Structure 1
Amino acid sequence: MTANTTRHTRCYSATAALALTTLVAGGVTGCGASGTTGTTPSTSAAASATPVPQMISTAGHRLAFYLTPGKSPAIVLDAGGGADSSYWQNLVPVLAKQTGREIVTYDRAGVGRSDEVPGPWKAQDAASDLEAGLTQLGITQPVVLVSHSLAGEIATYFVDAHPDRVGAAVLIDANLPEFFTDTETAELVAANQPQIAALEAQPSTKQNRQLLAEAADYGPAHLAYHKMSWPQSVPAIAIVSATTPFDTPDDARLWKDAQAQFADAAPDRRLVVADNSSHDIPTDRPDVVVKAIKDVIEQVH
């Protein structure tokens, strides 16, 4: 694939989910591309419904975890970049009712009620945070890991380090290693320099600082991520959106190809297309997400 001017001038809303790893609400605005700005509940709107967190400490910072009681295996929901645990507020009661399982959501470092951590964001560190949280909460049996967008990177590093801790996974329009070729990563880095500059020009807020931390070292981090692989022993369903996070045909095709390549790499993987959905599948098609979770629960022993 050859870089070209059209690809490098794609609008912020189409690149945000991959490069700055968020669906922006406020701050830098999208250019009106359909299906990419998302309808995720904002943190402020959901604050009144947020339960009291259980705070755990690891590596010098504190993280907020939220538990809905139920039986094993626990379902762990990990939101995309820039989103906190409130992203799942509408899905949690549905999952609890339909599965009877324990539901775990949490705020990653730098979002929600969790502490900020200085320096570039690293998926490996986020995976270590998740492992520490589950361990301190006594959730040591294999879980069903449900990861959206950026959280696909955390899931990959987590399952690579702790394959015995994940019984199965649902990866929702997730950042998968297969997508981040040298060419695509270089184009993503180039395409997002104006957006990074725009964020740097805004007042410093917790949200903006976290977005900039996620953008820092993006190129080298994703070239390394491209070399990762999902263990053959851990079943997974990859759900891909109808529109993908992109509004350019080449990128959309590469995104869908990467999702299919992942699903085809092992017998216990499956690709599901969420029709009539944007990248924001958990909001647009929660029924597809719930069905996939219920399906993989059967594979957790």
Structure 2
Amino acid sequence: MINPAIRSRRLRHTALALAATVAVAGGLAACGTDAAAKAHPAATSSRAATTAAVPSPGLHMITANGHKLAFYVTPGHLPAIVLDAGGGLDASYWKKIVPTLAKKTGSEIVTYDRSGEGKSPYVPGPWRAQNAASDLAAGLTQLNATKNVILVSHSLAGEIATYYVRDHAHSVAGAVLVDASLPQFFTKSETEKFAAVNQQRIDALKGKPLTPATRQLLALADHYGPVHLAYHKLSWPTNVPATAIVSSQTPFPTPVDAQLWRQAQQEFVNAAPNRRLAMADHSSHDIPIDRPDVVIKATQDMVNQVH
């Protein structure tokens, strides 16, 4: 039997081969559901006080844009800290971080399963970060977590965070972007290169049975070039502070792409004085797994800075 962690990393490498966004997303759809089911306890009242040092997260099934999404809320004081995992990953990805972060900050912690992950039903059609940002906004509105939140966004969720902050800058106090997919990376040459790889992979999948992992890859690859050339033109609001954490390995095995990834992170930080760069030494792209301490410290620092 293959160790789940090894299976997860193999699927992530498949995603890496497909395209930059898919690479950043990962490809854990095949094992994410089981992990989420084991990680999430039965639903409880999310804001009720408990005697435990760190209350258990409560499950809230939210209706967002006509479909259901699973949100998990660890009780604490507002404003909330919202953790958003990379593609193919569900809320259980943060299980090393949520209890410690809740204990250290006392804040309400919100995680969730995007469509097709964990307890959230699959929604057919192409995947778009704008739609995911709209889903997140609907969930946070229904949870009354809409003022001075701290976003902690990993990998593909960097795209969601970018769209979310542009539309809801008034509700975000700051962000921690964890090896995140940022607009600066998607230059014309990089986007065209990965779009070509996408097409090769799509052609190779024709006639083969559709699995949750390949379904996700196809949804992400749809109109990859135009989508990411448009994303490249976006900018992060200068009034929302951000910390960009970069892994020592980056998501890419090739030195050229890895260097371009690091360069994009630095360019993002250089664009405004209220941004800083942090390095997660001895870490793969899975910083929340390999170096949760780095994510927790950056989030604590952001909370102290903005509240």
Q: Same fold by TM-score, threshold 0.5 exceeded?
A: yes
Is 1:23–2:26 an aligned residue pair?
A: yes
Q: Deviations over 1:222-267 (max 9, x none)?
A: 0000000000000000001101111111111110000000011111
Counterpart contact for 2:96–2:288, Cα < 8 Å: no
Q: Which amino acid aligns with 1:65?
A: F
CA distance in 2, matches of 1:280, 1:127: 22
Counterpart contact for 1:76–1:103, Cα < 8 Å: yes
SS of equivalent to 2:209: coil
- 2:202 is matched with 196
CA distance in 1, matches of 2:95, 2:206: 30
Match 1:96 to one of 102, 105, 113: 102
Q: What is the Cα-based RMSD across aligned positions, in Å?
A: 1.9
Distance 1:197 1:84, change over 3 A: farther
Counterpart contact for 2:174–2:242, Cα < 8 Å: yes
Counterpart contact for 1:15–1:245, Cα < 8 Å: no
Is 1:47–2:37 an aligned residue pair?
A: yes
Matches within 5 A, 1:250-261: 250-261=256-267
Matches within 5 A, 1:1-301: 12=14, 14-15=16-17, 18-21=20-23, 22-25=25-28, 42-51=32-41, 52=43, 53-199=59-205, 201-301=207-307
SS of equivalent to 1:299: helix
CA distance in 2, matches of 1:201, 1:92: 41
Q: Residue 125 of structure 1: CA displacement? A: 0.6
Counterpart contact for 1:76–1:146, Cα < 8 Å: yes
Q: Which amino acid aligns with 2:89?
A: A
Distance 1:116 1:13, change over 3 A: closer
Q: Deviations over 1:2-28 (max 9, x none)?
A: xxxxxxxxx74644573324323587x
Distance 1:298 1:58, change over 3 A: same
CA distance in 2, matches of 1:46, 1:140: 25
- Deviates most, 163-172 or 86-95: 86-95
Distance 1:42 1:113, change over 3 A: closer
Q: Deviations over 1:18-50 (max 9, x none)?
A: 3324323587xxxxxxxxxxxxx8431342231
Taking structure 1 as the reference length, the TM-score comes to 0.87
SS of equivalent to 2:145: coil
Counterpart contact for 1:19–1:192, Cα < 8 Å: no
CA distance in 2, matches of 1:17, 1:143: 31
CA distance in 2, matches of 1:26, 1:167: 31
SS of equivalent to 2:152: strand
Runs of 5+ unmatched residues, structure 2: 1-12, 44-58
User: Relative contact order (C-alpha < 8 Å, sep 6+): which is higher?
Assistant: 1
CA distance in 2, matches of 1:24, 1:197: 18
CA distance in 2, matches of 1:153, 1:13: 17
CA distance in 2, matches of 1:65, 1:96: 16
Runs of 5+ unmatched residues, structure 1: 1-10, 28-40
Q: Number of paired residues?
A: 278
SS of equivalent to 2:83: strand
Counterpart contact for 2:28–2:88, Cα < 8 Å: no
CA distance in 1, matches of 2:204, 2:106: 45
Q: Deviations over 1:177-219 (max 9, x none)?
A: 0000011001111123343345555432344323321121111
CA distance in 2, matches of 1:65, 1:213: 22
Counterpart contact for 1:147–1:155, Cα < 8 Å: yes
Distance 1:235 1:140, change over 3 A: same
Q: Which amino acid aligns with 2:151?
A: L
CA distance in 2, matches of 1:127, 1:65: 14
How high is the sequence identity, in percent, across the aligned residues?
A: 60
CA distance in 2, matches of 1:223, 1:283: 31
Q: Which amino acid aligns with 2:155?
A: S
Taking structure 2 as the reference length, the TM-score comes to 0.85
